Structure 1
Amino acid sequence: MTAPPTGLRERKKAKTRAAIRENAMRLFEEQGFAATTVEQIAEAAEVSPSTFFRYFPAKEDVILVDDVDAVLVEGIRTQPPEVPPVEAIRAAMRAVVSEMSPETWEFERRRQLLVLGVPELRARMLQQMTGSIDLIAGVIAERAGLPAGDFSARVAAGAAIGAMLSVLPADGMVPAEGVTLGDYQRIEQALTLLQQGLPLGPR
């Protein structure tokens, strides 16, 4: 989803980060999130615990760090200035999804299953939405020529994030298949409703 690192040092760092995430994911799936330690992840990835913490501040961050955020923000930034904020978010989301490789889809499916299935991860994910609002509000304000921290840009970003959250299962049940293309299509539908002024009724 982003350009691959070109320098030797950058490639090594990317390889180490990927190894940590993949081994952590495997261990979480095999023995559970709570039962898996940083030491076990580091050993499986053939790095030291101190190296683990250079890439991820905490065990939770291996799963909660979302590589899509930066790509989404850049996609919003590159939309023409006359495009309204919610439509810019929709277009950027559509572009991000269309560029996902099968490998990225599979990793995201597994990641979302863990996030939704582990209560502490789900709670942390919801807390992190404040950071997502900050990111999107910043780029909305930038596109509109408004100062950073503009209230109207933050409200627009918060409304968009709220629309996206509406796609989560209302009963807390985790879908067996994890995240699918249909989930992203429902996010786009939610943003469309927001742009239309939130008309009620079946769609």
Structure 2
Amino acid sequence: MQLFGERGYDATTMNDVAEAAGVSPMTVYRHFPTKEDLVLVDQHGELIAERIAASSPGRPLVRRIGGALVEAAAALTGDGLSADRRFLLVRLQLMISTPALRAKHLDNQYALQQAIIDALDGDAADPDAAFQAQAAASACLAALHTALVRWAVDDGRSDLPRLVEKALAAVFGDDVVGRAR
């Protein structure tokens, strides 16, 4: 991320990354088949899915998903100076500014949507329930994306969990995450 942040996405090669990491280019390619994978490897789907799975199945879908997204945002950005927070910020800024990364981001969104649906433990045999889970996950992820873009444009100065709450409230109403702020 540091190389991409300093040199830009297009100017940084896989060989540059391998050299900076002190490994061979083949080692980098073994773990990251494309340069897009280096930037947008999904690291947070499991965190979100775990939080959804731990939520009460009796709560409405958007509250379960929304609450997990807010909690994950808080966990990822809790310490203002953390390496995870900086990594996330640089990654988002690259995604916003680099057209080649947007398609990979969309793939990641689909994978995250499926992780959310799986975590909801929906009844796949019930097409209506599956459709509702898919629609709720998709709408919540659209709100999350809006909050992430705002946070990245603000250079991480705003409170990401609060932005996620505001975006969810704009779509679903003020009490979607189960608390008024």
Give the TM-score taking structure 1 as reference length: 0.70
Q: CA distance change for structure 1 residues 27 and 138 in 2, over 3 Å: closer, same or farther?
A: same
1:76 matches 2:49:
no
Structure 2: stretches of 5+ with no match in the other structure: 175-181
Give the TM-score taking structure 2 as reference length: 0.78
| Greater C-alpha radius of gyration | 1
Q: CA distance change for structure 1 residues 106 and 34 in 2, over 3 Å: closer, same or farther?
A: same
Structure 1: stretches of 5+ with no match in the other structure: 1-24, 198-203
- Structure 2: how far apart are the matches of 1:96 and 1:159? 17
- Structure 2: how far apart are the matches of 1:186 and 1:176? 11
Which of 1 and 2 has higher RCO (CA within 8 Å, sep 6+)? 2
Name the structure 2 match of 1:61: 37
What whole-Å deviation, never above 9, does each CA across 1:100-150 have from its counterpart, x for those lacking one?
Answer: 34221122112212111212113431343222222212222x0x4x12782
Residue range with higher mean Cα deviation, 73-82 or 153-162: 153-162
Q: CA distance change for structure 1 residues 180 and 126 in 2, over 3 Å: closer, same or farther?
A: farther
Residue 181 (structure 1) shift:
4.4
Name the structure 1 match of 2:138: 158
Map 1:22-171 → 2, pairs under 5 A: 25-100=1-76, 101=79, 102-140=82-120, 142=121, 144=122, 146-147=123-124, 150-167=130-147
- Structure 1: how far apart are the matches of 2:69 and 2:50? 11
What whole-Å deviation, never above 9, does each CA across 1:38-61 have from its counterpart, x for those lacking one?
Answer: 112111111112211232121111
Q: CA distance change for structure 1 residues 83 and 70 in 2, over 3 Å: closer, same or farther?
A: same
Residue 176 (structure 1) shift:
5.6
C-alpha contact (below 8 Å) 2:71/2:161 kept by paired residues: no
In the comparison of the two structures, how many residue pairs are matched?
167
- Structure 2: how far apart are the matches of 1:163 and 1:26? 28
Percent identity of paired positions between Structure 1 and Structure 2: 31
C-alpha contact (below 8 Å) 2:69/2:144 kept by paired residues: no
Residue 166 (structure 1) shift:
3.4
